[in-house]
C-alpha cells in the first residue's frame, strides 16, 4: 500500500524563506517531471518559481506541449480544469490549494444556467435562437453545457470575434458569467446598449419580460470580477487632471464607462505588451489586478516609464493569493516522493463536451 501524502499541517507554520528553500530543493529532485505554471495575477513569491507564465488559456496550451508528468497550476480552480481538459491523458493537473477559486466563475453554476435555458424555452426555443457563450473564467461543466448546446468559449482577447461567430449561427447570445466583458464586446460591435440586457439568475425569468427577451440581442449574466469592479471613472478623471499626457489602459472586465474612458482596452497579455512596447518616459494608469501591475511597473522602470494602479485602495485577486510558498512547497515535496496531492480531474463526459466548445473557440479565433 502506498504511503499517505505528507500532511500540509507540517507546512502551515513554515517561514516564507524556509518554504522557498524547500521549493527549490523539491524542484531539483523532480527535474522535468513537473512544470510550474504561473498566472499573471499570482503573488510574486510564488510567481518567481513559474516555468511558464501567462493567462490561463496560454498556460494550458503550453503545458500540454511539454513532456512533464505533473502540471502544477499556480492560479485558480477553473484554470487547472482547463489544463486537465487540454493536456495529454498521462499528464496530471494539480492545484496547490483547492480553496483557490474564482468568485466570478462561482456566479454562474450549471444549475442556474440550465434553469435559465428552461425559462428561455417558455418564450422561444433557445437551441434555435441563442448561442451560449461562456468566458473561459468558468467551471468545466459550463464549458460542457456550451459544447452540448452549440455554444463556445471565449477569452478576454477574442470575445468580439467569438460573438461574431455566435451571431453567424443564431440571432441571439447568452453570455456568462461576466456581464462587463460581454457588454464591452457587444458595444465594440455596435450593438445598442438597450439590446444587451442583464439576466439575474436569482429572479424568475432573469427579471425580464418576454418582450424584453425577444428584443434583446445579448443576455448578459449578472456576474462580475470583484477586482475589476473596484475601478471607477472618477479614478481616470483624477489621473488625467494630474497627468494630462498620461495613458489609461484597462482590462475589459472593467465596467463599460471605465473602458470607454480608457485609451486602450485589452487582455492581460495585451496590457503587458502595450506598456512594454510604449516609448520611454510614458506614464500609465492600469486597470487590472495589483500583482500584475506592480510586476509590470518594476519591469519598465528602467525605461523611465511610470505604471500606476488605477484604484486608490489595495485590490488583488484574493483567491489567487491562497496559493502561497507553503502550499507550493507541500505540493512539490509530495510529488518528489511520488505522491500526488490536489489533482484536478474533470469527469470524462464533461471534458469531452468542454473540449468541443474550446476547439470551436480555437478554430474561430
pLDDT band at 58, cuts 50/70/90? confident
Residue 170 predicted with pLDDT over 60? yes
Mean pLDDT of 98-105: 87
**Helical packing angle, 140-148 and 77-86, nearest 10°:** 50
Per-residue confidence (pLDDT) for residue 318, from 0 to 100: 62
What's the chain's average pLDDT?
A: 94
Residue 124 Cα distances to 30, 167, 210, angstroms: 55, 17, 9
238-292 residue pLDDT tens? 999 999 999 999 999 999 999 999 999 999 999 999 999 999 999 999 999 998 9
Mean pLDDT of 159-188: 97
**How many residues are given for the chain?**
365
pLDDT band at 85, cuts 50/70/90? very high
What's the burial of 203, exposed, middle or buried (CB within 10 Å: 0-12/13-18/19+)?
exposed
**CATH topology agreement for domains 8-101+319-345 and 228-309:** yes
Q: Where are the domains of the chain?
A: 8-101+319-345, 105-226, 228-309
pLDDT band at 57, cuts 50/70/90? confident
Lowest pLDDT segment from 102-106, 111-115, 179-183, 353-357: 102-106
Q: Sheet holding 34-39: strands in order across?
A: 52-54, 34-39, 70-74, 92-94
Tell me the fold of 8-101+319-345. Answer: Rossmann fold (3.40.50)
202-242 residue pLDDT tens? 999 999 999 999 999 999 999 998 888 999 999 999 999 99
Per-residue confidence (pLDDT) for residue 1, from 0 to 100: 44
Residue 103 predicted with pLDDT over 90? no
Give the distance between the most distant pair of CA atoms in the chain. 68
Which CATH code for domain 228-309? 3.40.50.10800
4-52 residue pLDDT tens? 899 999 999 999 999 999 999 999 999 999 999 998 888 899 999 999 9
Mean pLDDT of 99-103: 86
Amino acid at each position: 500500500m502506498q504511503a499517505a501524502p505528507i500532511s500540509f499541517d507540517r507546512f502551515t507554520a513554515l517561514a516564507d524563506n524556509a518554504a522557498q528553500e524547500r521549493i527549490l530543493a523539491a524542484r531539483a529532485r523532480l527535474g522535468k517531471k513537473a512544470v510550474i505554471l504561473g498566472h499573471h495575477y499570482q503573488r510574486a513569491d510564488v510567481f518567481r518559481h513559474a516555468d511558464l507564465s501567462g493567462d490561463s488559456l496560454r498556460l494550458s496550451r503550453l503545458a500540454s506541449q511539454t513532456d512533464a508528468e505533473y502540471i502544477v497550476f499556480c492560479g485558480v480552480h477553473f484554470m487547472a480544469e482547463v489544463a486537465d481538459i487540454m493536456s495529454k491523458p498521462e499528464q496530471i493537473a494539480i492545484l496547490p490549494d483547492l480553496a483557490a477559486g474564482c468568485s466570478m466563475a462561482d456566479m454562474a453554476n450549471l444549475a442556474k444556467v440550465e434553469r435559465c435555458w428552461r425559462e428561455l424555452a417558455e418564450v422561444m426555443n433557445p437551441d434555435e435562437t441563442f448561442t451560449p457563450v461562456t468566458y473561459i473564467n468558468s467551471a468545466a461543466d459550463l464549458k460542457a453545457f456550451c459544447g452540448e448546446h452549440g455554444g463556445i468559449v471565449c477569452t478576454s482577447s477574442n470575445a468580439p470575434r467569438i460573438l461574431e461567430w455566435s451571431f453567424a449561427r443564431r440571432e441571439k447570445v447568452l453570455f456568462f458569467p461576466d456581464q462587463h466583458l460581454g457588454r464591452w464586446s457587444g458595444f465594440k460591435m455596435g450593438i445598442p446598449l438597450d439590446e444587451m440586457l442583464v439576466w439575474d439568475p436569482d429572479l424568475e425569468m432573469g427579471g425580464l419580460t418576454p418582450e424584453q427577451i425577444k428584443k434583446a440581442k445579448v443576455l448578459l449574466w449578472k456576474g462580475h470580477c470583484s477586482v475589476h469592479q473596484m475601478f471607477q471613472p472618477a479614478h481616470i478623471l483624477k489621473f488625467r487632471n494630474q497627468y494630462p499626457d498620461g495613458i489609461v489602459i484597462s482590462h475589459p472586465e472593467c465596467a463599460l464607462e471605465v473602458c470607454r474612458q480608457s485609451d486602450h482596452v485589452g487582455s492581460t497579455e495585451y496590457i503587458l505588451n502595450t506598456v512594454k512596447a510604449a516609448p520611454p518616459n510614458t506614464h500609465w494608469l492600469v486597470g487590472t489586478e495589483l500583482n500584475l501591475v506592480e510586476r509590470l511597473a518594476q519591469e519598465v522602470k528602467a525605461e523611465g516609464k511610470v505604471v500606476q494602479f488605477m484604484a486608490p485602495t489595495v485590490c488583488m485577486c484574493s483567491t489567487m493569493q491562497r496559493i502561497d510558498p507553503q502550499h507550493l512547497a507541500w505540493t512539490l515535496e509530495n510529488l518528489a516522493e511520488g505522491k500526488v496531492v490536489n489533482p484536478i480531474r474533470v469527469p470524462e463526459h464533461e471534458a469531452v463536451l468542454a473540449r468541443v466548445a474550446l476547439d470551436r473557440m480555437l478554430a474561430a479565433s
